[in-house]
């Protein structure tokens, strides 16, 4: 790539980051101007991609920069939606950007694979000379895609709600952040859904649970809360509601969804069992135990062993420790907690072996609920499974 030296500031813009802030900045810069906007979707094209389906490449941008529309005297704005893999050659043509032909790139900063020794490596556009000179010579606006912490995510979401005219209290915003994490694009999507759902009325925590929590997640929460509180009737009711819809979606089976539910419950009780083994139980203790690497999964990628993300995220820990039902479980004996986890493991094993027998899965999970809610002992549960289904552990 030629090393041209651009010194004069020109109307070339780079806008990247989360969708809401990027679109807001674009409107601030260009909405009130009488512009001839040419949108070019850019990206990678496979060799087999038909010509009429191909996205724009660097040569398409260069042709637009070199050729003017003689029939339209408005200022022309060439808007690149993304970056093509050969974006670096545009560098040599940035001198064609002027008051009559402006350039704006709206995109997250993508990474492209380039040869590197024995394999390939990811090179970010942000590390390229093209981006650096455009940032220095033009105008670059980089907005975060993920908040640094929950408080920052809450402040950002409150500002978006105010801009959109949404009525939502800070405690509901905090709950939404705990539920969906710190990713700003997912938070924006959920907020706009809630504003449309309420149609001008105040958004409540119940609205968030209704509109933003998938059925599987909501059922799992309700069932886990009932199990934690040893509320047998409530637990059986939630389990039956789950059975009614499990496996009804295209591509999903009854066994698969039941196994996912059991895995989520096991994830919860393993979390409580490990906390129960600590001398003191608090948020600080929990985040230290689960956040500093003591309980993380190992994964093997490309022959190298690396640590995955935390098994239990901070939001999960905080939300659970705030529940009175969880505090009640933490007062159980370690023996009972071990029995619960052990029987759930046995239940999963049995259901895997009898994965085609829906009735077996139903009754086996119901017996597990009876054990947790103190309706049956572990010996009675094992005996009932053996007598009813002939399954020997």
N-to-C CA span, the chain = 68
At 292, the pLDDT band (50, 70, 90 cuts) reads: very low
pLDDT given for residue 77 in this prediction? 92
At 294, the pLDDT band (50, 70, 90 cuts) reads: very low
* CA–CA gap between residue 33 and residue 23 (Å, rounded): 16
pLDDT given for residue 194 in this prediction? 92
Helix (H, G, I), strand (E, B) or coil at 12: strand
Mean pLDDT, range 192-202, rounded to an integer: 89
pTM: 0.65
What does the pLDDT look like over 100-129, one tens digit per residue? 899 999 876 656 555 444 555 556 777 777
What does the pLDDT look like over 240-280, one tens digit per residue? 989 988 888 777 889 999 999 999 899 889 888 887 777 55
Q: Among residues of the chain, what percentage have pLDDT more than 70?
A: 82
Count CB neighbours of 26 within 10 A. 16
Any idea which architecture 150-212 has in CATH?
Answer: Orthogonal Bundle (1.10)
At 313, the pLDDT band (50, 70, 90 cuts) reads: low
What does the pLDDT look like over 209-236, one tens digit per residue? 888 877 777 888 889 999 999 999 999 9
Same fold, 150-212 and 215-287+317-389: no
pLDDT given for residue 116 in this prediction? 47
Q: Which residue has the tokens 């029995």?
A: 339
* pLDDT tops 60 at residue 392: no
pLDDT given for residue 122 in this prediction? 56
CB-hemisphere CA count at 13 Å for 151? 0
**In degrees, to the nearest 5, what angle opens at C-alpha 269 toward C-alphas 313 and 275?**
65
pLDDT given for residue 293 in this prediction? 41
Helix (H, G, I), strand (E, B) or coil at 38: strand
pLDDT given for residue 8 in this prediction? 67
Mean pLDDT, range 182-199, rounded to an integer: 90
Fold of domain 215-287+317-389 = Zinc Finger, Delta Prime; domain 3 (1.20.272)
Determine whether domain 12-142 maps to CATH 3.40.50.
Answer: yes
Mean pLDDT, range 127-141, rounded to an integer: 84
Lowest mean pLDDT among 8-22, 170-184, 302-316: 302-316
* pLDDT tops 60 at residue 339: yes
CA torsion, ordered 256, 262, 266, 268, to nearest 10 deg: 100
Query: In angstroms, what CA-CA distances link 351 with 123, 243, 262, 346, 371?
Result: 46, 14, 10, 9, 17
The pLDDT mean for the chain works out to 81
CB-hemisphere CA count at 13 Å for 368? 31
At 206, the pLDDT band (50, 70, 90 cuts) reads: confident
* CA–CA gap between residue 49 and residue 251 (Å, rounded): 28
What pairs with residue 146 in β-bridges?
Answer: 183
pLDDT given for residue 370 in this prediction? 93
pLDDT given for residue 121 in this prediction? 55
What does the pLDDT look like over 39-75, one tens digit per residue? 998 887 777 888 888 888 889 999 999 888 778 888 8
pLDDT given for residue 1 in this prediction? 44
pLDDT given for residue 21 in this prediction? 94
Mean pLDDT, range 283-297, rounded to an integer: 52
* pLDDT tops 80 at residue 139: yes
User: From start to end of the chain, where are the E strands?
Assistant: 12-16, 35-41, 75-81, 101-106, 111-116, 119-124, 139-142, 296-301, 304-310
* CA–CA gap between residue 339 and residue 49 (Å, rounded): 57
* pLDDT tops 70 at residue 82: yes
Q: Where along the chain do its domains lie? A: 12-142, 150-212, 215-287+317-389
Run of H or E residues at 165: none
* CA–CA gap between residue 203 and residue 220 (Å, rounded): 23
What does the pLDDT look like over 90-99, one tens digit per residue? 888 888 888 8
Residue among 381, 347, 352 at smallest CA distance from 365: 347
Lowest mean pLDDT among 149-153, 281-285, 352-356: 281-285
pLDDT given for residue 69 in this prediction? 77
* CA–CA gap between residue 107 and residue 85 (Å, rounded): 13
Mean pLDDT, range 73-81, rounded to an integer: 90
Burial track 156-185 (b if 16+ CB lie within 10 A, e otherwise): bbbebbeeeebebeeebbbbbbbbbbbebe
Helix (H, G, I), strand (E, B) or coil at 282: coil
């Amino acid at each position: 790539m030629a090393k041209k030296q651009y010194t004069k500031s020109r109307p070339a813009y780079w806008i990247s980051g989360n969708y809401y802030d990027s679109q807001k900045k674009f409107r601030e810069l260009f909405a009130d101007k009488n512009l001839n906007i040419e949108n070019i979707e850019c990206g990678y094209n496979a060799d087999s991609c038909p010509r009429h389906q191909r996205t724009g490449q660097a040569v398409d941008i260069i042709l637009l920069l070199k050729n003017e529309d003689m029939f339209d005297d408005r200022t022309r704005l060439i808007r690149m939606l993304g970056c093509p893999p050969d974006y670096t050659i545009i560098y040599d043509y940035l001198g064609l950007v002027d008051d009559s032909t402006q350039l704006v790139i709206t995109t997250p900063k993508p990474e492209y694979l380039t040869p590197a020794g024995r394999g390939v490596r990811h090179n970010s556009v942000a590390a390229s000379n093209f981006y650096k000179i455009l940032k220095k010579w033009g105008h670059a606006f980089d907005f975060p895609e993920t908040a640094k912490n929950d408080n920052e995510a809450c402040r950002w979401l409150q500002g978006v709600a105010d801009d959109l005219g949404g009525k939502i209290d800070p405690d509901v915003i905090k709950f939404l952040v705990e539920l969906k994490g710190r990713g700003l694009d997912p938070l924006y999507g959920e907020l706009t859904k809630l504003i449309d759902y309420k149609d001008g009325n105040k958004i409540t925590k119940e609205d968030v649970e209704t509109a933003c929590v998938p059925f599987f997640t909501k059922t799992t929460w309700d069932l886990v809360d009932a199990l934690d509180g040893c509320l047998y009737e409530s637990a059986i009711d939630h389990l039956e509601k789950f059975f009614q819809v499990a496996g009804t979606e295209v591509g999903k089976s009854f066994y698969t969804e039941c196994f996912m539910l059991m895995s989520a419950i096991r994830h919860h009780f393993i979390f409580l069992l490990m906390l129960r083994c600590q001398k003191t139980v608090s948020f600080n203790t929990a985040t230290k135990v689960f956040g500093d690497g003591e309980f993380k999964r190992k994964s093997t990628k490309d022959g190298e062993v690396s640590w995955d993300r935390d098994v239990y995220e901070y939001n999960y820990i905080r939300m659970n420790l705030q529940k009175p039902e969880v505090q009640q479980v933490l007062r159980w004996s370690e023996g009972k907690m071990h029995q619960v986890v052990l029987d759930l493991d046995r239940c999963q094993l049995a259901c895997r072996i009898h994965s085609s027998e829906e009735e077996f899965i139903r009754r086996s999970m119901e017996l597990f609920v009876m054990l947790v809610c103190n309706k049956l002992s572990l010996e009675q549960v094992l005996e009932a499974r053996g007598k009813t289904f002939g399954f020997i552990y």
